[in-house]
Amino acid sequence: MLLIFPSILNLLDKWTEAARLLGIKYTNLTGDVLLSSAMVSYLGAFTVDYRVECQREWHKLCNEKNIPCSKDFTLSNTLGNQVLIRSWQIAGLPVDAFSTDNGIIVSNSRRWPLMIDPQGQANKWVKNMNKANKLSIIKLSDSNYVRTLENAIQFGTPVLLENVGEELDAILEPVLLKQTFKQQGVEYMKLGENTVEYSSDFRFYITTGLRNPHYLPEVAVKVCLLNFMITPLGLEDQLLGIVAAKEKPELEEKKNQLILESAANNKQLKEIENKILEVLSSSEGNILEDETAIKVLSSSKILSEEISEKQKIASMTENEIDETRMGYRPVAEHSSILFFCISDLANIDPMYQYSLTWFINLYLQSIAHSAPSDDLQIRIANILDHFTMRVYYNVCRSLFEKDKLLFSLLLTVGIMQGKGQVDDLVWRFLLTGGIALENPYPNPAPEWLTDKSWSEVVRASQLPCLEGLFEHVQENIAQWKQIYDSGHPQDEELPGKWRTVVGMERMVVLRCFRPDKLVLAVQQFIVDRMSRTYIEPPTFDLAESYSDSYCCSPLIFVLSPGSDPTAGLLKFADDLGMGGSKTQVISLGQGQGPVAEQLIRAALTDGTWVVLQNCHLATSWMPMLEKICEEVITPESTHTSFRLWLTSQPSDKFPVSVLQNGVKMTNEPPKGLRANLLRSYLSDPISDTAFFSSSAKQDIWQKLLFGLCFFHALVQERRTFGPLGWNIPYEFNESDLRISIRQIQMFLDEYEEVPLEALTYLTGECNYGGRVTDDKDRRLLMSLLSIFYSWELIEQDQYFNLYDFYVDYIRNLPITAEPEVFGLHSNANITKDNQETNQLLDGVLLTLPRQTSGGAKSPQEIVDELAGGMLAKLPPDFDIEMVTNKYPLLYEESMNTVLRQELIRFNRY
């Protein structure tokens, strides 16, 4: 008894201190609960930055109103149970504070959660958390989902409703509103026509894969909207765990074991605390005389000390492991940046959707296939280089040509931002040209410098790195005019002290004077920061895309106007022995959905291919396609040779889950004369060396073949010049080139003399000319073709019979061709380049968050100031009465009536 007494006194001292701290918490409870309630009720749908800002403002308001609250208030400190939070994290909840708050909101909200979950984090967490509770997983497209829901409500099991859209089925309203009623002491709920017994153990979770859904107020008030989009910190932790597990598997296994042990120890400590509190509350009289209570306290203390000692050892081991893991932190940080660069592309086109699962699989492949090294820094560099390149190649093949340079720029700037090498003010200015407020400085050279350009020069001078720019321009007009007049201003040295300006700041200056050359400057910027590879997108390679797929991942052709990949796909199928009856092609439309479903089900077991064309025309059948891809095409029931090929134009109705998990490809003419030529030589049939060398007249064959490919590239690239290129932008495609190539080969082999006139007629008037409807365009087409189909070309002595020579020659051509190559004046580039610059900058702006950095004025104040400035510049309204008196409405003067009507209309608008 005497030995136990000091221990009890020590324990009582600790309880006294705990009671003091508890008293402080009790005092602050009012404000903490108020803030917690507000967060649970209102902030679930918002981003982490907005939540933090709201929490800060509310905390400040509580202090102003003298409402007591903790100085270091957090939702997890007030409503969180650390043991429960640890179990959530083991179940797959990301470890960052934002995700932890989401978990607390889910468990404390009175309304059922609807989680915005494009990366599937919430889905994974809910499934793992309820694995032992007989979780039912349903979709609104399921035929029996109401029956499943009824059973879960009755038996008190959890339900996960996946992939909802922006509207919810009306039958769910009683569940969402928890409309129950009691009958004979039993709680019931009416669901549609049926009345089911309601169990208090029932739990309902809803997730959507939409990135930015818009829910109407009548939906939002029935559910607890939660933003479950992954945060950079949460993704970094996941990626760090993956790379550590692959590079140091024994350490990662030990860390996971320690996490589980730590969770079990904390749970045991919590149980001990509860046991002690129970003993103290149930003990009567003097506790020192209660032998049972003393035994319980004594054994609890011994057990507590043992667990605490284990926890100390585990913490030390975990810290040692974390130090080793942190060596790979740069890999996780860099890779996280890449993912968010990719996820932002969905703002540009609805077809640019990529799942976190796809990204992590790519990440794992790069870790496995990148060059090994015993030096950690070299190994990290190898992983990063390999992974960045793999991401670029895989994403590029699913982008339209207009967006490939945009993606390269996003990658470059994203990586630089991660290293702290980008000034956000300079980056924003490059994209927008600054906020257009009143310019008090007169234009010093209005004869060549536009007012818009001069205003941008003045605004650029407000950037810290370009301070004094507009004064220098005013004093050195002649030097700056040389930059303006230059044919290659992106390569010129800037005047005076600005010659040392490089990188993004130099592009800002170029934007002010010659925005038409900004695309070329961006290309050079990417080459300097990354490498030349990132401005040379890979050519379309169907075989490589096929090798990256497996039986359960659909292959999706994202169509552009005029493109038809079917012929190339069928040729590829023949090459792999899947031609003929082994590839079923069906064009979707009215009534074709059930036929397509039957073909898929039959092909699953036979191991054949199914091609579904024009999915964008069958939007009503798309939910069924999504269900087939998720539930029917599963690894267990699918033959390894089976492939599902889909073609679709961009559509926001195309299933997101199919897009994210499929292999996406675009098949449109590449951008640039060189890329177009290279594509022709690397594609069927020219890439087949047997075909390339098959003609009996090799010298003429090689010349005409190269000439035709150059002509094909020429007529396609002229479209980028707008009306200067063609009066009507025709969709010439690969089939025109392919049939013309076959005709050259056939005519050369069958005729002794070269039938040049016949070839010219077939290629110019029929194959390509068949698309041309304007007579001037037809005349231009034939004039261009006469350059390449000419006796002058055929009779030249030089030709080369080596396929590799042509490919190497094409690769060494300039990336950007001069307008003279197309038969146009050098000034023809200006309009085209300006359009490309605007398209690039507008595309980048779509990917940026819609927020502004801190400044003296709020966004609303800036908008009001801009609107006021615009109104001030408008001329005053016309005095209608004065004009009517001066020009009366007479029958003889009909124009007076027209004048009055126009003035009224002018005043109105």
- What's residue 180's pLDDT? 92
Q: 130 near 203, Cβ under 8 Å?
A: yes
- What's residue 834's pLDDT? 87
pLDDT at 643 over 90: yes
- What's residue 827's pLDDT? 81
Residue 211 banded pLDDT, cuts 50, 70, 90: confident
Q: 187 near 181, Cβ under 8 Å?
A: yes
Computed on alpha carbons and rounded to an integer, the radius of gyration of the chain in Å comes to 35
Enter the DSSP assignment of 109.
-
pLDDT at 595 over 80: yes
Of all residues in the chain, what percent carry a pLDDT higher than 90?
Answer: 34
- What's residue 121's pLDDT? 87
- What's residue 1's pLDDT? 45
Residue 507 banded pLDDT, cuts 50, 70, 90: very high
pLDDT at 7 over 60: no
Q: How confident is the model over 508-521, as a mean pLDDT?
A: 92
User: Within the chain, which residue ranges are assigned CATH 3.40.50.300?
Assistant: 542-666
Residue 406 banded pLDDT, cuts 50, 70, 90: very high
Q: How confident is the model over 825-844, as a mean pLDDT?
A: 87
Q: 640 near 607, Cβ under 8 Å?
A: yes
Q: State the Cα–Cα distance between residues 11 and 765, nearest whole angstrom.
A: 99
Q: Which two tokens stand for residue 285?
A: 């009289």
Q: State the Cα–Cα distance between residues 30 and 70, nearest whole angstrom.
A: 10
| Residues 542-666, CATH architecture | 3-Layer(aba) Sandwich (3.40)
What angle in degrees, to the nearest 10, is found between the helix axes of 828-847 and 404-418? 50
Over residues 778-809, the pLDDT tens digits come to: 999 999 999 999 988 888 877 677 888 888 99
Residues 6+ apart with CB under 8 A from 439: 451, 454, 455, 458
Q: 99 near 234, Cβ under 8 Å?
A: yes
Of all residues in the chain, what percent carry a pLDDT higher than 70?
Answer: 87
Q: 632 near 626, Cβ under 8 Å?
A: no
- What's residue 97's pLDDT? 85
Residues 6+ apart with CB under 8 A from 96: 231, 233, 234, 237
Over residues 99-108, the pLDDT tens digits come to: 899 999 999 9
pLDDT at 184 over 90: no
- What's residue 506's pLDDT? 93
Instruction: Tell me if the pTM is above 0.85.
Output: no
Residue, of 320 and 66, whose pLDDT is higher: 66
Q: How many CB atoms lie within 10 A of CB 362?
A: 21
Q: How confident is the model over 228-256, as a mean pLDDT?
A: 81
Residue 525 banded pLDDT, cuts 50, 70, 90: very high
Q: Which two tokens stand for residue 67?
A: 């409402």
Tell me what the pLDDT averaged over the chain comes to. Answer: 85
- What's residue 302's pLDDT? 66
Residue 817 banded pLDDT, cuts 50, 70, 90: confident
What angle in degrees, to the nearest 10, is found between the helix axes of 82-90 and 249-282? 150
Over residues 257-312, the pLDDT tens digits come to: 766 666 676 666 666 666 666 666 666 655 555 566 666 666 666 666 666 666 66
- What's residue 704's pLDDT? 92
Over residues 535-549, the pLDDT tens digits come to: 988 888 888 889 888
Q: State the Cα–Cα distance between residues 156 and 150, nearest whole angstrom.
A: 10
Rounded to 5°, angle at Cα 419 from 386 and 387: 10
Residue 85 banded pLDDT, cuts 50, 70, 90: confident
Handedness of CA 360, 366, 368, 374 (dihedral sign): negative
Beta-bridged to residue 203, according to DSSP, are 158
Rounded to 5°, angle at Cα 840 from 726 and 426: 145
pLDDT at 851 over 60: no
- What's residue 796's pLDDT? 80
Lowest mean pLDDT among 435-439, 466-470, 613-617: 435-439
- What's residue 284's pLDDT? 62
pLDDT at 564 over 50: yes
- What's residue 687's pLDDT? 86
User: Within the chain, which residue ranges are assigned CATH 1.10.8.720?
Assistant: 673-814
Beta-bridged to residue 583, according to DSSP, are 609
- What's residue 853's pLDDT? 43
pLDDT at 612 over 90: yes
Lowest mean pLDDT among 93-102, 246-255, 261-270, 544-553: 261-270
- What's residue 482's pLDDT? 92
Over residues 305-337, the pLDDT tens digits come to: 666 666 666 667 667 667 777 888 999 999 999
Residues 6+ apart with CB under 8 A from 386: 366, 369, 370, 371
| Residues 673-814, CATH architecture | Orthogonal Bundle (1.10)
